[in-house]
Amino acid sequence: MDGLLLDTEALYLKAWLPVGEMMGVPITEAVARKTIGHDNEKTTVIFQEHYGKAFSMERAKPLLLEWIQDYVAKHGLRVKPGVRKLLKLLKQRGLPLAIGSSNQGQYVRAYLEEVGLLPYFDTIVTADLVERAKPAPDIFLQAAQNLGFSTEQCLVLEDSPIGVQAAHEAGCLTIVVPDLMEPCAVTRGRVWQVLSSLEKVPELLFGANATCG
């Protein structure tokens, strides 16, 4: 969801700097970028590696959520180009859809509901529902199981190297649509296609005449 369907990765990246100021921790954009695609536990490890025990996720998370809530109340959430057309087309084709996110379930559902995308998804698997978040494959393994398919029958769309690694280890065919991080050679070697936008997906899957009825 974050960075693929919604422009929330950029929002989190923007939020960490003022949150750091409020905590007295000099969080930089460069360090915040290292947390992209990770769950709370790994994000804590990354920040503590750079800032020591001065960083506390227990203190940071409420500040982060408050900042984001204020921002969304003023500006709304931006849906990525091509999202609505793609989801509508997939549903019209009868394909079941899952969300696999390292975010927490309550926020995933709240964000999707905010922009009217929640009804498209048959199952939602988040970090709080599995033992290990991305880059471990657990989220995608569970999502495939919930849909009733093997992972080899599933196509994953991802935006980050962490997510691509998880999908690759789960055995899923993967398309990467980069958001804030350009795919390196390793990431490119793990995916079927690298696309510049979700707007490119319908034609790739269904041909030049792929349209919504």
Distances in Å between the alpha carbon of 23 and those of 10, 47, 61, 110?
21, 13, 11, 26
Burial 32-49 (b: 16+ CB within 10 A, else e): beebbbbbbebbbebbee
Let me know if residue 172 belongs to a domain. yes
Split into its structural domains, the chain has a count of 2
Question: How confident is the prediction along the chain (213 residues), in pLDDT tens digits per residue?
Answer: 999 999 998 999 999 999 999 999 999 999 999 998 888 899 999 999 999 988 999 999 999 999 998 999 999 999 999 999 999 999 999 999 999 999 999 999 999 999 999 999 999 999 999 999 999 999 999 999 999 999 999 999 999 999 999 999 999 999 999 999 899 999 999 999 999 999 999 999 999 777 765
Domain that holds residue 53: 8-75
What does DSSP assign to residue 100?
Answer: E
Name the domain boundary from 75, 93, 110: 75
Helices (H) and strands (E) in the chain, counts: 10, 5
The amino acid present at 24, given as its one-letter code, is G
Let me know if residue 37 belongs to a domain. yes
Same domain? For 87 and 40 the reply is no
Same domain? For 63 and 107 the reply is no
